[in-house]
Structure 1
Amino acid sequence: MIKNIISLVLLIVSVALSFKHGWDTFNLRDNPQSAKMMAELGISESLTPFFGVLTIATGILLLIPKTFFLGNVLNAFSIVLIMALALHAGNYKIALMEIPFLAMPLLMIWLKYPFKH
């Protein structure tokens, strides 16, 4: 029971973060801090819609039991990509801040989908 509650809380947080980050990616003009971070990572403005769609799609995949694993793998992959781009740009602070977010999809894979019997 506790395992399901933890899994549910992580699922809600992960989906909310996916939708928020996806929405923020589409509205970079309203979020100068996000635009600055994307520029520091070397991500051009023409690539940002791709990342927005990928992030929102990841959130949707997490909600569906049959695609839960794939959603978590895509989430972990996108976090590792951000960490790699940050390290390549010499921004160690971003890479270190992403470590807990990398642990979240891996923990969710281990805990399994919360409503699956």
Structure 2
Amino acid sequence: MIMIKNSISLLLLIVSVSISFKHAWDTAHYRTNPASLTMMTSLGINKSAVPVLVFLTVVIGILLLIPKTFFLGNMLNAMSIVMIMGLALRAGNYRIALIEIPFLAMPLIMIWLKYPFKN
């Protein structure tokens, strides 16, 4: 049972860190990525916020990898997802808010499962 729990936790960790770094990359290169540009424009995110978002997503990815900061990384991840959901709802884009629900569940499940390989 513990092996299954650790395997699921490790899989979610890999997926979450990968998504975090991919989002950082896409956000940093929003001018050449039409999907990111469209989403940020629709959410009302201006160009001056882009470096902050890139920094935040990279930090979240790094924090998730370190056992002592795993919880903090997941909390920041969940808060950033709730922020995106709130911006989407404010903009009237319910589709983005609904798409983010499984991504909000992921850091919460990871907190519950705890860091893989931690004794």
Scaled by the length of structure 1, the TM-score of the pair is 0.99
| Number of corresponding residues | 117
1:23 partner amino acid: W
Unaligned runs of 5+ in 2: none
Unaligned runs of 5+ in 1: none
Q: Distance in 2 between matches of 1:64 and 1:70?
A: 10
Q: Map 1:2-41; keep pairs closer than 5 Å.
A: 2-41=4-43
Q: Distance in 2 between matches of 1:90 and 1:29?
A: 24
Q: Map 1:78-97; keep pairs closer than 5 Å.
A: 78-97=80-99
How far apart are residue 104 of structure 1 and its match? 0.1
Q: Distance in 2 between matches of 1:115 and 1:25?
A: 31
Q: Distance in 2 between matches of 1:73 and 1:98?
A: 15
2:6 is paired with a residue of what secondary structure? Answer: helix
Equivalence for 1:58: 60
1:106 partner amino acid: L
Equivalence for 1:48: 50
How far apart are residue 92 of structure 1 and its match? 0.2
- Return structure 1 stretches of 4+ with deviation > 4 angstroms: none
Deviations 1:13-58 (A, max 9, x none): 0000000000111101110110110010000011011001100100
